[in-house]
């Protein structure tokens, strides 16, 4: 087990094949940014892509839809095609649109088709609340009581899930299962392929929320046979606050009428026929609804260019190496200060962030911010630290770990209340 010392960190930075990408990002001055799994930083390419769309609007007005440097009418499809390699999808299976929750409502309206005794939805008790809100809403729209028809798989430790427990819940009363690819609080990476295979064997539609995995690790959604997936783009994909999300629909479902039809669900060649009977697009574009949010989509063009150059496999390898070094340091230096690690140790079960448990987590996060480290707190006692392969160096990690050790060793967190702020 290699220890993260200053010398080791400097050497690793010198050998890092992704080191040149750090200069591509606007980094907060004199700050160690460890919250890229909540909001990624702005890249210079994303900034330029947004300026290009603004310039198209400025110079062309409405003609920017078809004549701009980046024509808006086709932007969502272009972004979908550029995103597809990150999740192992075909270009036609992916579209940049909506948000996680709106896309989830769209796909649940399309794929949740209760029939006979197959009426239940399987989720988990650790998922992000908004996914559960959407599931409950859809059940109620169908006239079902969520307390009876939403099955939330229990966690044995409050941080992680057992794939076997999930599969055990997939009985003949289940119509659909929705799960996170990576659990937001603990960083556990679920075995998507194993769960999908089990669901398919039982005739159950399976979907995943990729919020905490897309841009951090590779996927093979098409080959695994996942029916649908949703994600945001403002975390690891660095598209900016409120950046437009995305969705995946397996090609076996393409051509299907969307559950919630809208203006941009249309086949593009027929969209301006103004026919009151929808002809859906034959791609994932059918699952769009309203007009694309161009200025919230454009930055993703620049960001995806960086991913294309770097390669998601290299991003994943650096991410695993960085989280491993952090975990080694924590076990050697911080365990005696009351810290335990919530995320799985094994590489194949770990996402892109490290989750630390401490009884004073909220106050420690406040002390970190005062020391110019930007962490993330998750109630009730989790500190999330996310090294981002493009702009977090190994030397950054060493400094962050030393600051964290100094804070707790000397009780600097004691001057802060151990409770979250309004926004955590």
Residues 31-89 pLDDT 10s: 999 999 999 999 999 999 999 999 999 999 999 999 999 999 999 999 999 999 999 99
Please say if the pLDDT value at position 376 is more than 80. Answer: yes
pTM for this prediction = 0.96
Quick one: pLDDT at residue 418?
87
Structure confidence at residue 118 (pLDDT):
97
Say whether pLDDT at 2 is over 70: no
pLDDT of residue 115: 95
What is the spatial distance between Cα 237 and Cα 245, in angstroms, rounded to a whole number? 10
205 — pLDDT class (breaks 50, 70, 90): very high
1 pLDDT higher than 60: no
Q: Are 399 and 6 in contact (CB under 8 A)?
A: no
Taking the domains of the chain in order of start, what are their residue ranges? 6-30+311-415, 49-309
- Amino acid 137: pLDDT: 98
Task: Report the pLDDT value the prediction gives residue 421, as an integer from 0 to 100.
Answer: 80
Nearest Cα to Cα of residue 315 among 218, 242, 219: 218
Give the mean pLDDT of 211-240.
Answer: 98
2 half-sphere exposure, CB direction, 13 A CA radius: 13
Among left, alpha and beta (phi > 0; psi -120 to 50; other), residue 151 is beta
Instruction: Give the pairing of strands 246-249 and 340-341.
Output: unpaired
Question: Is residue 4 very low, low, confident or very high in pLDDT (cuts 50, 70, 90)?
Answer: confident
CA–CA distance from 74 to each of 195, 269, 350 (Å)?
34, 12, 36
Got the DSSP string for 106-172? HHHHHH---BTTB-EEEEETTS-HHHHHHHHHHHHHTT--HHHHEEEE--SSSS---HHHHHHT--T
Could you tell me which residues are annotated as the binding site? 100-101, 128-131, 209, 212, 234, 263, 291
> Which CATH code fits 6-30+311-415?
3.90.1150.10
What are phi and psi for residue 98, nearest 5 degrees?
Answer: 55, -150
DSSP notation for 273-308: G--SS--B-SSGGGG--S---HHHHHHHHHHHHHHH
Q: Which residues are annotated as a binding site for pyridoxal 5'-phosphate?
A: 100-101, 128-131, 209, 212, 234, 263, 291
Q: Tell me: the pLDDT tens digits for 266-307?
A: 999 998 999 999 999 999 999 999 999 999 999 999 999 999
3-class DSSP state for residue 388? Answer: coil
Which CATH code fits 49-309? 3.40.640.10
Please give the average per-residue pLDDT across 329-352, as a whole number. Answer: 95
């Amino acid at each position: 087990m290699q220890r993260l010392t200053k010398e080791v960190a400097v050497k690793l930075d010198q050998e890092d094949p992704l080191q040149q990408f750090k200069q591509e990002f606007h980094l907060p001055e004199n700050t160690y940014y460890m919250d890229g799994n909540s909001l990624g930083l702005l890249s210079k390419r994303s900034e330029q892509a947004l300026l290009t769309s603004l310039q198209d609007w400025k110079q062309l007005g409405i003609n920017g839809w078809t004549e701009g440097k980046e024509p808006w009418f086709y932007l969502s499809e272009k972004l979908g095609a550029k995103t597809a390699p990150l999740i192992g999808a075909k270009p036609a299976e992916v579209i940049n649109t909506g948000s996680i929750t709106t896309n989830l409502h769209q796909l649940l309206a399309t794929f949740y088709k209760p029939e006979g005794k197959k009426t239940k939805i399987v989720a988990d008790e650790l998922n992000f609340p908004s996914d559960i809100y959407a599931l409950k809403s859809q059940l109620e729209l169908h006239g079902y009581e969520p307390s009876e028809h939403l099955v939330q798989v229990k966690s044995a430790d409050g941080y992680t899930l057992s794939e076997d427990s999930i599969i055990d819940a997939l009985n003949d009363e289940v119509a659909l299962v929705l799960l996170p690819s990576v659990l937001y609080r603990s960083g556990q990476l679920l075995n998507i392929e194993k769960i999908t295979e089990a669901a398919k064997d039982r005739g159950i539609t399976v979907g995943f929320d990729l919020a905490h995995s897309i841009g951090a690790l590779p996927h093979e959604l098409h080959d695994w046979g996942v029916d649908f997936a949703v994600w945001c783009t403002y975390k690891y994909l660095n598209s900016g606050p409120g950046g437009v999300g995305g969705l995946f629909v397996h090609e076996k479902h393409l051509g299907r009428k969307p559950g919630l039809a809208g203006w941009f669900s249309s086949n593009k060649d027929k969209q301006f026929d103004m026919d009151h009977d929808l002809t859906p697009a034959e791609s994932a574009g059918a699952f769009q609804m309203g007009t694309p949010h161009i200025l919230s989509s454009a930055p993703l063009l620049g960001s995806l260019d960086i991913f294309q150059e770097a390669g998601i496999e290299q991003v994943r390898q650096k991410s695993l190496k960085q989280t491993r070094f952090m975990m080694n340091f924590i076990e050697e230096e911080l365990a005696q200060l009351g810290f335990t690690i919530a995320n799985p140790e094994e590489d194949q079960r770990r996402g892109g962030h490290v989750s630390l448990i401490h009884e004073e987590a909220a106050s420690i996060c406040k002390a970190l911010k005062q020391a110019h480290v930007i962490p993330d707190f998750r109630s009730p006692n989790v500190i999330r630290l996310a090294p981002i392969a493009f702009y977090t160096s190994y030397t950054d990690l060493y400094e962050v770990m030393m600051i964290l050790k100094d804070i707790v060793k000397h009780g600097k967190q004691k001057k802060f209340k151990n409770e979250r702020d309004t926004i955590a």
